[in-house]
């Protein structure tokens, strides 16, 4: 039962948060939207910024690169993280699981910038990977690993494997052990228990993790900028370029809105899929 | 056999996860100029260089200040909002709650750009204060969500009892509600500090001269690969790990108590 | 009749703790066995060992003459109904029930026929296409039963199946379980802590305490002439006349020992009398609902020799 007639304290309490969100989030977003509809030498409103996105190949390419990289990262991260989370949840003895999990996500606490930098070290021409490859005779000369799409994907996968291990582990742990027992009791071997029962039941959790991965990766500027070099730019890099180098605020605003649009579309697709799963 | 395969796989993943961090820390003690094999060391000269670098230490201090202050603000207004929505039936509550939670769904880059455009238009300069505001924007929804989810009917009844005994609203909040929700408040604050401390894009776009540590590290990267960057990275990592261990110990002590 | 299943000298140790201590038991074909006891008595552990989910530290489990101690649940001729039913939430009721058949590579058409038939048997003819979350607790329980029975196990194991249901539903389900068992003919082994449930259902009650079997036998005998004091106390209320224990309904008013009435409580179909014997002991007795007995009244309380329980 809530205090009906004395709502004033309630409004007073929520007001700071509401005002803050309105002034420092909604308003800037509205401002950005309005800015995206302006252009030098043209009357307001104009769609020329958005038109540029569809006509100039460089911008569209940015989005395409973003999507390609993000999808690869999402799939690879899930494929690596799921078995790993499974092993942590089911093979590692119970009392070591917390420690094992903590160890698995410890590198989370290196600063984001630092983490990408350390991959630069690992993948450098004189770095450990190249040295090892040459040591075992796979190559005669160092291979360009850093400043490539491969490096960007590796940097992303590293981060998201940790994140997804956490979420998938939590998902697996909260499944009642009786599901496995019941399936086994009815004649299913370990693989069929997994295929018919565990996998379908963890699929919604994987979906949520995949969505999180997608959203975080597609909007990220740091990792591609440090590891990807300047060849295949992703959309955030394109946005930053318009902003910093060419100081074209309306265009970067428009590109940002396009990015948001893509994320929103994916959000609704995932939400729809999750709702279908429920029924 | 399956078990051996599983263990081998897990070890391989652990190696993958720790490889960059291991390289980072190892070569922060590098004797020569480049943080790649071969390892000539160990040497502490890079740590000395970091600690005597005025820009880096200033960046560290700025990061801490921004993290602590913005997290405190985010926690407080998030707490107040959670309390308001949980204890009172407000009109269009669903809509307002959704609004407050919206920043969670938006990329930091876009939030940063929006704020920059807004501050430009409003005539406010780039500064650490602007970064603080940006960090409150990204962290407040999180605090709200965490604290709101912890406000139960049991708590409501205890508050009613306090009112029944004569406490005014602000007294209820400070002497009853906040202490009861201490774990949620602490978790929100801690999480906010973690996100703010490490945050790059908003800090990058909203500062000019005085800036936070991640941005200073970024500037270091301009100079190419250097063990000095390793050193500062390792320091940041070390401090974070210690904080996490402290948090774990505190959380555990709460459970046994 | 030879035993369907045989538990021989089963012990279960967890380090220094003993969950089961040298327990032996036989299950007769077509019977309803109830493992009854308080929590920690080992009844659920014993059921898990029967089902193959736990390996005993010592002893053997024989089913139809074969040593099944090391056999995994998938290959054991048992089927278990779990306490939380464990219905697969992402499958329809029909697919849930047919799951065991699918694991035995029965074709879909045949699976569906058998599943529908079994759902009829448990009283859910219309549930085939529904999802578990659309069913009530009692309905879900029947689906769990159907799923276990459709694979025609030698033994059906039930782990506190009625624990999650309210009183009225529980009574109803007890009747249905008993009828179902008679109809299907499979041997049931049912774990519970509720002695009334055990007495209503069992052909054989097995009373367990702290990892050991205290008593076993037909409900009437275990209730009226329990082998141990623990069994007597667990199966129902009793009063002590010196060394002899007597059930309240067997206490006779009007002859025997002198006593004074302490309290009379109306219970609907009878009145519960608490009296103190001159020797100091408290005795519970029952009188007719219309009888006029009041506190402070002096009367004589006794019992027939055949109702006295001595240990």
Rounded Cα gap, residues A277 and A91, in angstroms: 29
Q: Residue A134 corresponds to which tokens in the numbers above?
A: 């040459």
Looking at residue A277, its pLDDT comes to 67
C244 pLDDT exceeds 60? yes
Full-model pTM? 0.81
**In chain A, which residue's Cα lies nearest the Cα of C82?**
A178
- Residue C189 three-state SS: strand
Q: Tell whether the model's pLDDT for residue B121 goes beyond 90.
A: no
Tell me what the mean pLDDT of segment B115-127 comes to: 88
Judged by average pLDDT, the poorest of A142-146, B227-231, C154-158, C172-176 is A142-146
pLDDT of residue B257: 44
Task: Give C-chain residues touching A186 at CB under 8 angstroms.
Answer: 74, 79, 99-100, 103, 147-148, 151
What is the complex's ipTM, to 2 decimals? 0.85
Three-state DSSP state, C58: strand
Helix, strand, coil percent values for chain B (each to nearest 5): 80, 0, 20
Residue A153: what pLDDT? 94
C205, C219 contact by CB (below 8 A): yes
A54-74 per-position pLDDT tens digit: 888 888 888 999 999 999 999
Cα–Cα distance between A10 and A8 in angstroms, integer? 5
Of the pLDDT bands very low, low, confident and very high (cuts 50, 70, 90), residue B253 is low
Distance from CA of C55 to the nearest CA of A (A): 14
Does the distance separating the beta carbons of C53 and A179 come in below 8 Å? no
pLDDT above 70 (res C165): yes
Q: Is the pLDDT of residue B247 over 80?
A: no
B109, B214, B240: residue with CB nearest A113: B214
pLDDT of residue B254: 57
- CB neighbours (10 Å) of residue C108? 11
| Per-residue pLDDT, A126 | 77
Q: What is the pLDDT of residue A1?
A: 47
Helices B128-149/B108-122 angle, 10° precision = 130
Per DSSP, the three-state class of C256 is strand
How many angstroms separate the Cα of C228 from the Cα of each of B249, C201, C262, C285, C311? 50, 22, 29, 22, 6
Task: Label residue A223 by pLDDT band (50, 70, 90).
Answer: very high
Interface of A with B in 199-228 (CB under 8 A): 215-216, 218-222, 226
Work out the mean pLDDT of chain B and round it to a whole number: 87
- Cα of C66 to nearest chain A Cα, Å: 18
- Put simply, the answer to whether A91 touches B115 (Cβ < 8 Å) is no
Please give the Cα distance from B199 to B193 (Å, whole number): 10
Q: Looking at the predicted structure, is the pLDDT value of residue B64 above 50?
A: yes
B84 contacts on A by Cβ (under 8 Å): 9-14
**Local structure of C61: helix, strand or coil:** strand
Q: Tell me chain C's radius of gyration from C-alpha atoms.
A: 23
What residues in A contact C79, CB-CB < 8 Å? 185-186
Dump pLDDT digits (tens) for B185-199: 988 998 898 889 889
Does the pLDDT at position C1 exceed 60? no
Buried b (16+ CB within 10 A) or exposed e, C184-217: bebbbbbbbbbbebbbbbbbbbbbbbebbbbbbb
d(CA C188, CA C176): 13
In total, the C-beta contacts within 8 angstroms joining chain A to chain B are 240
Q: Is the model more confident about A179 or about B250?
A: A179
Q: What value does the mean pLDDT take over residues B19-39?
A: 86
**Locus of tokens 């420092």:** A24
Q: How sure is the predictor about A278, in pLDDT bands with cuts at 50, 70 and 90? A: low
How would you classify the pairing of strands C204-209 and C187-192?
A: unpaired
pLDDT tens, residue by residue, C65-110 = 889 999 988 889 999 999 889 999 889 999 999 999 999 999 999 9
Residue A198: pLDDT above 90? Answer: yes
Nearest by CB to residue A179, choosing from C73, C80, C88, is: C88
pLDDT-derived band of residue A131, with 50, 70 and 90 as boundaries? confident
Whole-angstrom CA distances from A199 to A147, A203, A235, B13, C272 are 37, 6, 34, 21, 57
pLDDT in tens, B204-231: 999 988 899 999 999 988 878 888 899 9
Q: Which of B 164-193 lie inside 8 A of A, CB atoms?
A: 169
Please report which confidence band the pLDDT of residue C116 belongs to, taking 50, 70 and 90 as the band edges: very high
Question: Is residue B255 pLDDT above 80, yes or no?
Answer: no
Mean pLDDT to the nearest integer, A88-97? 89
Residue B69 has pLDDT above 60, yes or no: yes
Residue B166 pLDDT class (50, 70, 90 cuts)? confident
Q: Confirm if A47 and A243 have CB atoms less than 8 A apart.
A: no
Alpha helical stretches, state H, B88-126: 93-101, 108-122
Percent with pLDDT over 90 in chain A: 37
Which among C53, C147, C148 is the nearest to A181, CB-wise? C53
Please provide the average confidence, as pLDDT, over all residues in chain A. Answer: 87
Separation of alpha carbons A104 and B62, rounded Å: 30
Chains that touch B (3 or more CB pairs under 8 A): A
Whether B81 and chain A come into contact, CB under 8 Å, resolves to: yes
Question: When comparing pLDDT for A88 and A275, which is higher?
Answer: A88
User: Which of A132-141, B42-51, C13-22 comes out lowest in average pLDDT?
Assistant: A132-141
């Amino acid at each position: 039962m809530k205090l009906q007639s004395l709502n004033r304290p309630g409004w007073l309490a929520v007001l700071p948060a509401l005002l803050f969100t309105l002034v420092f989030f909604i308003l800037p977003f509205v401002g950005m939207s309005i800015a995206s509809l302006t252009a030098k030498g043209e009357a307001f409103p104009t769609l020329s910024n958005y038109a540029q996105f569809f006509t100039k190949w460089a911008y569209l390419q940015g989005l395409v690169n973003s999507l390609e990289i993000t999808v690869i990262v999402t799939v690879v991260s899930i494929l690596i993280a799921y078995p790993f989370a499974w092993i942590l949840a089911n093979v590692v003895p119970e009392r070591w699981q917390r420690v094992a999990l903590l160890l698995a996500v410890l590198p989370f606490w290196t600063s984001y910038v630092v983490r990408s930098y350390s991959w630069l070290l690992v993948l450098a021409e004189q770095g450990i990977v190249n040295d090892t490859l040459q040591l075992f005779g796979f190559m005669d000369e160092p291979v360009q690993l850093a400043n490539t799409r491969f490096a960007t994907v590796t940097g992303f996968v590293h981060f998201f494997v940790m994140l997804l291990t956490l979420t998938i582990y939590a998902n697996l742990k909260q499944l009642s052990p009786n599901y496995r027992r019941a399936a086994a009791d009815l004649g299913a071997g370990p693989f069929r228990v997994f295929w018919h029962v565990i996998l379908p039941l963890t699929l919604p959790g994987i979906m949520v993790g995949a969505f999180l991965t997608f959203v975080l990766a597609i909007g990220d500027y740091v990792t591609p900028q440090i590891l990807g070099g300047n060849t295949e730019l992703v959309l955030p890099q394109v946005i930053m370029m318009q902003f910093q180098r060419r100081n074209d605020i309306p265009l970067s605003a428009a590109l940002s809105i396009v990015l948001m649009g893509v994320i929103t579309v994916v959000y609704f697709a995932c939400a729809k899929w999750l709702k279908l799963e429920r029924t | 056999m399956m078990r051996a395969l599983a263990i081998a796989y897990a070890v391989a993943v652990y190696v993958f996860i720790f490889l960059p961090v291991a390289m980072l820390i190892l070569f922060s003690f590098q004797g020569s100029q480049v943080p790649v094999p071969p390892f000539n060391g160990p040497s502490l000269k890079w740590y000395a260089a970091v600690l005597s670098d005025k820009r880096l230490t200033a960046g560290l201090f700025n990061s801490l200040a921004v993290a602590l202050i913005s997290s405190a603000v985010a926690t407080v207004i998030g707490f107040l909002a959670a309390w308001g929505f949980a204890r009172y039936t407000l009109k269009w509550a669903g809509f307002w709650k959704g609004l407050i939670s919206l920043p969670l769904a938006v990329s930091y880059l876009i939030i940063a750009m929006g704020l920059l455009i807004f501050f430009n238009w409003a005539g406010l300069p780039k500064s650490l204060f602007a970064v603080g505001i940006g960090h409150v924007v990204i962290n407040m929804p999180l605090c709200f969500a965490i604290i709101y989810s912890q406000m139960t009917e049991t708590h409501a009844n205890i508050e009613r009892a306090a009112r029944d005994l004569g406490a005014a609203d602000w007294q209820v909040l400070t002497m009853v509600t906040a202490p009861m929700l201490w774990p949620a408040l602490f978790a929100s604050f801690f999480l906010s500090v973690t996100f703010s401390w490490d945050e790059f894009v908003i800090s990058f776009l909203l500062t000019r001269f005085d800036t936070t540590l991640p941005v200073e590290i970024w500037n270091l990267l301009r100079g190419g690969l250097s063990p000095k960057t390793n050193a500062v990275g390792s320091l940041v990592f070390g401090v974070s790990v210690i904080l996490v261990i402290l948090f774990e110990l505190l959380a555990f002590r709460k459970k046994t108590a | 009749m030879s035993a369907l299943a045989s538990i021989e000298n089963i012990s279960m140790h967890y380090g220094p703790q003993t969950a089961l201590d040298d327990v032996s038991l036989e299950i007769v074909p077509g019977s309803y066995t109830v493992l009854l006891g308080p929590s920690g008595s080992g009844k659920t552990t014993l059921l898990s060992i029967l089902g193959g989910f736990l390996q005993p530290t010592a002893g053997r489990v024989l089913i139809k003459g074969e040593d099944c101690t090391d056999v995994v649940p998938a290959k054991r001729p048992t089927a278990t109904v779990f306490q939380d039913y464990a219905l697969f939430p992402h499958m329809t009721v029909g697919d849930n029930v047919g799951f065991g058949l699918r694991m035995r590579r029965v074709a879909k058409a045949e699976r569906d026929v058998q599943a529908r038939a079994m759902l009829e048997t448990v009283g859910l003819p219309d549930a085939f296409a529904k999802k578990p979350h659309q069913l009530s607790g009692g309905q879900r329980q029947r689906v769990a039963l159907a799923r276990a029975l459709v694979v025609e196990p030698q033994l059906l194991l039930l782990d506190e199946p009625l624990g999650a249901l309210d009183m009225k539903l529980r009574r109803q389900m007890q009747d249905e379980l008993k009828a179902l068992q008679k109809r299907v003919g499979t041997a049931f082994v049912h774990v519970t802590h509720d002695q009334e449930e055990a007495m209503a259902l069992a052909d054989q009650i097995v009373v367990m305490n702290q990892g050991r079997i205290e008593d076993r036998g037909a409900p009437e005998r275990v209730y009226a002439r329990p082998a141990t004091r623990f069994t007597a106390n667990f199966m129902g209320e009793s009063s002590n006349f010196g060394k002899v224990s007597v059930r309240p309904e067997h206490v006779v008013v009007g002859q025997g020992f002198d006593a004074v009435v302490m309290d009379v409580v109306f219970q609907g179909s009878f009145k519960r009398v608490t009296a103190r014997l001159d020797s100091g002991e408290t005795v519970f007795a029952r009188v007719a609902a219309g009888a006029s007995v009041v506190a402070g009244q002096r009367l004589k309380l006794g019992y027939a020799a055949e109702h006295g329980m001595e240990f």
